[in-house]
Chain A
Amino acid sequence: MIDNIIIGKYVPGSTVIHRMDPRAKLLTIFLYVFIVFFANNGITYFLLGLFTFIIILLTKLPFSFLWNGLKPVIWIVGFTFLLHILVTKEGDMLFRFGFFSIYEEGLRQGFFISLRFIFLIFMTTTLTLTTTPIEITDGMESLLKPFKKFKLPVHELALMMSISLRFIPTLLEETEKILKAQMARGVDFTSGPVKERIKAIVPLLVPLFISAFKRAEELATAMEARGYRGSEGRTKIRQLKWGAIDSIMMASILLLSIILLLLRA
């Protein structure tokens, strides 16, 4: 049951997008999130869509992976679409049934807002599918470095992030193991009255917490044993390299932003 969960799973590859500097990818996504809101007419949406589509093509990922990223939020997209159709009452009326009516502007708005959502999700999914969690944290750490002057514990934050990412699969595995052990002892997690099922969580959570704490302690000891003492004088084995592709990507997203600003209604 747990093996079906695929959250932002990294798919190995060696495409241009895979090889990009994570900092460039993060900055691109950061900018993209803003310019998605610049688009407000047909031509700007078309350009935005074209940009997204080209990026997706470059990753050479099968579309089903992107679809899986979209699935959990498809309800929100559908809901926003409906809300816009029902609430916006501008432009020509297209359809009327009793007090229920659809206006041109509502349809347009609903369609565009849904597109915004889908574009955003596609882009962020491409990021997680083509970048290992470690690369993302490295990129973040490097981008946040300037904030160290303001006493932001950048290194510690990055470390926390990479440790938690590292242990998600481990904890899922552990959960499944304990789940099975307790099922073998007659616990029923999937049927029976709700009250019983909530009670059945205790034999799952207690062992899980205990092992998580133990693991944390062991990890801390192991890190100290290997001489870890924070970011002071620490060098990196994975050096981030800013290449031509990264500059090209930044240039194209900046260009796109300018074009969108000029063409928006």
Chain B
Amino acid sequence: MDIKIRQLEHRYQMNTPFERLALCDINIDIHEGTYLAVIGHTGSGKSTILQHLNGLLLPTKGSIQLGDRLIKAGEKQKNLKSVRKKVGIVFQFPEHQLFEETVEKDIAFGPMNFGASFEEAKKKVKEVLPLVGLGEEILHQSPFELSGGQMRRVAIAGVLAMEPEVLVLDEPTAGLDPKGRNEIMELFYRLHKEKKLTTILVTHSMEDAAKYADEIAVLHQGELKMKGSPKEIFRLTRELEQLGLDLPESIKFVMKLEEKFSLTVEDKPLTLEETADFIEALLKEGVVYDR
């Protein structure tokens, strides 16, 4: 499912003294099977964009094409449920949405809302559990007896069980320990690769954006400032700094090296692996240390 965002504008509390422009003239194409990372400061409009992707918020101007469904500003929208089935959103701290008596019932909640019988939903629950790294022994426990990390996995399973075509992630690793963070990010990346799931990740972590995304969109005060591959985006170190955004650790490391050894490196490595390769090459070529 391709997503086309055209001249999207969103104002909160329209026509009140508290009106606030959150998004302004956003144009983004997201092709099927892409992994897009959206980065930007708090209040840059990331979460607002994401809620447009399944009709939780409607544009105040412009339009969004979701597959064959067009959502245009000013038009009455009926049956947004079919959109919500195709676009699954994992919100920040998704464990806050758990409410059922058992883990099984909670994961089955989504599919059943979209018309599956309890038996069908149960089957889907069994399918998604291993994807999020949980065992079947917890199925009949209360979700509130689980640890924080497990609760988050259950909540993610609840979204995956809806079998969406597009997966939208709003800082899915916030508040997790580093190990859990890695596991969850790898899980989403595996799903993206194996199931060709279109993935849209909103994140503060430049490392995650550099490591996983095919494309990065940079938002600033409701406007789309840059869009391109991680290589293209993270080359613009000065512009990113002006927007108050961080750089991936690997790039910062190489910039420090440049300073120390008066080098200039065109293509800076984005991931740990690339950094290792870079240093290997550097060592083999030899560095002139002039001080």
Residues of A within 8 A of B (CB): 3-4, 64, 177-178, 180-188, 202-203, 206-207, 210-211
Contact = CB atoms under 8 A, between A and B. Distances in A.
A184 B113 contact: no
Given A3-B13, A203-B109, A211-B96, A185 B91 contact: no
A206 B99 contact: yes
Given A3-B12, A3-B18, A207-B99, A184 B84 contact: yes
30 contacts: A3-B12, A3-B13, A4-B13, A64-B17, A177-B96, A178-B96, A178-B97, A180-B91, A181-B91, A183-B56, A184-B54, A184-B56, A184-B88, A185-B109, A185-B110, A185-B113, A185-B159, A185-B162, A186-B84, A186-B113, A186-B114, A187-B113, A203-B99, A203-B109, A206-B99, A207-B96, A207-B97, A207-B99, A210-B99, A210-B144
B81 A188 contact: yes
A195 to B, nearest CB: 15
Contacts of B56: 180, 183-184
A185 B96 contact: no
A207 to B, nearest CB: 5
Contacts of B97: 178, 181-182, 185, 203, 207
A135 to B, nearest CB: 22
Contacts of A188: 81, 113
Given A181-B91, A181-B94, A186 B85 contact: yes
A183 B84 contact: yes
A182 B81 CA distance: 12
Contacts of A3: 12-13, 18
Interface of B: 12-13, 16-18, 51, 54, 56, 81, 84-85, 88-89, 91, 94, 96-99, 109-110, 113-114, 144, 158-159, 162
Contacts of B16: 4
A210 B13 CA distance: 29
Contacts of A4: 13, 16
Given A181-B96, A185-B97, 12 more contacts: A177-B91, A180-B91, A181-B91, A181-B97, A184-B88, A184-B159, A185-B159, A185-B162, A203-B99, A203-B109, A207-B96, A207-B98
Nearest to B161: A185
Contacts of A178: 96-97
A210 B151 CA distance: 14
Given A177-B96, A178-B97, A207-B97, A186 B81 contact: yes
A188 B85 CA distance: 12
Max chain B C-beta neighbours (<10 A), residue from A64, A184, A188: A184
Given A203-B109, A207-B96, A207-B99, A184 B81 contact: no
A81 to B, nearest CB: 29
Nearest to B78: A191
A16 to B, nearest CB: 23
A180 B51 contact: yes
Contacts of A202: 99
7 nearest A-B residue pairs (beta carbon): A186-B113, A206-B99, A181-B97, A185-B110, A184-B89, A181-B91, A203-B99
Contacts of B114: 186
A162 to B, nearest CB: 24
Nearest to B16: A4
Contacts of A182: 97
A180 to B, nearest CB: 5
A184 B52 CA distance: 11
B9 to A, nearest CB: 17
